[in-house]
Amino acid sequence: MNSQQFREAAHAAIEEIIEYNETLPTRRVLSAVTPGYLAPLLPSSAPTCPEPFSQIQPDISAHIMPGLTHWQHPNFMAFFPATTSYPSMLAELYSAAFTAPAFNWLCSPAVTELETVVLDWVAQMLGLPEEFLSKGEGGGVIQGTASEAIAVCMVAARERVLGRMLDKEGLKDGTEEWEDRKGELRGRLVALGSEQAHSSTQKGAIIAGTRYRSVPAPRQDGFRMTGKNLRDVLERCKREGKVPYYLTVSLGTTSTCAVDEFEEIAEVLKEWPDVWVHVDAAYAGAALVLPEYQHLTKAFVHFDSFDMNMHKWLLTNFDASCLFVRRRHDLTSALSITPSYLRNTFSDSGLVTDYRDWQIPLGRRFRALKIWFVLRSYGIDGLQSYIRNHIELGELFHSLVKGRPDLFSVLTGPAFALTVITVVPKRPQQMRNASKPDPRHEAFTNDFTPDAEKQALLDANAVTKEVYELVNSRGEIFITSGVVDGTYTIRIVSANANTEEKYIRRAFEILVETAEEVLGKGEA
């Protein structure tokens, strides 16, 4: 493809992308294809002769579009959002044009330096403590995902604690004795996360080759990790001769958007200085753009790292996970290996940042560009009103649900635009007394026997699951479910870039109609 052909093809592609965005609401949010739909539609091997773009482009609408789940659709209320925007797309175009796996500063100084600048902007915008800025000992780095950020921090934490333990034993770095002892000690290390922490913490422990234990975060604590529950687990580890070295605390858990008790946790950990604390704020961290949420960052000064995905709620296309550390030396001392072919005078001078030492891969994309374009195009004001609007839409959805206690019960929320609900089964008691509260919620005053209560939970789970499956099978809206402490739940997230009040109201109507249908069937 030459420049003229690129010009024509790019115009055609951009026109199609604009048309796609503008017609999104008319599409079915969920794909209706069946597994294996694509291969029979395509040739069984790559073409021998070159094809012009005019022949390639129509296959997007013919073969790819039908197999897309439309994450930008206003009726996409599932998982957490993965938003994008035109400024972000434009930056990706430049990034593709400049392609440079800029692992060292020298590979493309602008790639490294823009990343340092925009991550400082992000840290300030989110109200993170000064310690996480690059002017001191800290700094930010863009990772692919929140899971990658956790794995990186866990490996750094492991190396940090093992280094300290070996130093105490007086062993000399690099000797065989040192290596053997390091292997033995590693078997005692334990990574921790709450029961409600995202599974990436458990996966990180597999990658780091250490043990994993979870800290209870029960319903009565609002699914939050408390200082007391953490202390119990730490003490149990100690009694068993294990060494806790890493902890994920969550700002917005996946199931309910719970926020762990940061201050209490920081207080407990004063007695455990070797535990690296990582704040997983993958989705909800975006709300820190709002001053009214920034009190949450107060305790972070005691923690080691923080990560938030710009690619979830902040209009930046996948991938852009912003990891900040309090001491960048912790990352570089764990992950820096410099063979002769990577050496250069700039790196040797110590005056430049080589982000390859802050991550797992060597090469890296120019992702700072899209964050830069987004921050400049929207401004902090624009991002604040965008997030505030979603939070208000979450409150609206919550108030609609509260208006139908005969059909729905709220398990948690609205929290960061997430409301978690269950469908209320029609029980004989309830039919006699429609205002009877659901047994799974705080307001419940128990006049059931334990067996009846158990049965009520099973009934509630069954109807909630049925409603959820029916809604998604019809495909007008896309929602996700979850099981929290034995309760089957439906999660509704009002944080899609294209969400508006009318879509939230319509989603509620669909839920009402479906719940009435399912419950009515039971009655007939």
Residues that bind ligand PLP (CB under 6 A): 80, 145-147, 198, 200, 250, 252-254, 280, 282-283, 309, 321
- The token pair that represents 128 in the structure block: 């993170």
Count of beta carbons in the 10 Å neighbourhood of residue 23: 9
CA distance 515 to 164: 57
User: In the bound complex, what is the minimum distance in angstroms from residue 479's beta carbon to ligand PLP?
Assistant: 15
Residue 207 Cβ, how far from ligand PLP at the closest point, in Å? Answer: 13
Which residue, among 387, 414, 389, has the nearest Cα to 400 in the 3D structure? 414
The least CB distance from residue 316 to ligand PLP, in Å, is 12
CB of 370 to ligand PLP, least distance (A): 16
C-alpha distances out from residue 80 to 2, 23, 198, 417, 422, Å: 40, 22, 13, 10, 19
User: Which is nearest to 335 in space by CA: 101, 141, 134, 193?
Assistant: 141
CA-closest candidate to residue 415, choices 429, 394, 397, 440: 394
Q: Which two tokens stand for residue 92?
A: 């990706």
SS3 state of residue 499: coil
DSSP character at residue 437: P
Nearest residue (CB) to ligand PLP, 81 versus 139: 81
Residues 6+ positions from 82 with CB-CB distance below 8 Å: 71, 311, 312, 317, 318
User: What's the closest the beta carbon of residue 145 comes to ligand PLP, in angstroms?
Assistant: 3
- Residue 88 or residue 104: which is nearer to ligand PLP going by CB? 88
- 244: three-class secondary structure by DSSP: strand
Q: How far is the CB of 153 from ligand PLP (least distance, A)?
A: 12
In 3D space, the residue among 420, 407, 322 whose CA is nearest the CA of residue 80 turns out to be 420
Is the CB of residue 27 less than 8 Å from the CB of residue 70?
A: yes
- Cβ distance to ligand PLP smaller for residue 254 or 472: 254
Give the whole-angstrom CA distance, residue 231 versus residue 304: 19
Closest to ligand PLP by CB, 203 vs 505, is 203
Kindly tell me which of 194 and 464 has the beta carbon lying closer to ligand PLP: 194
- Smaller CB distance to ligand PLP: residue 198 or 231? 198
Query: Tokens 């940090």 identify what position?
Result: 160
Pick between residue 253 and residue 464 the one whose CB is nearest to ligand PLP.
Answer: 253
Closest to ligand PLP by CB, 80 or 293: 80
Closest CB 65 distance from ligand PLP, rounded Å: 24
Nearest approach, Cβ of residue 394 and ligand PLP (Å): 16
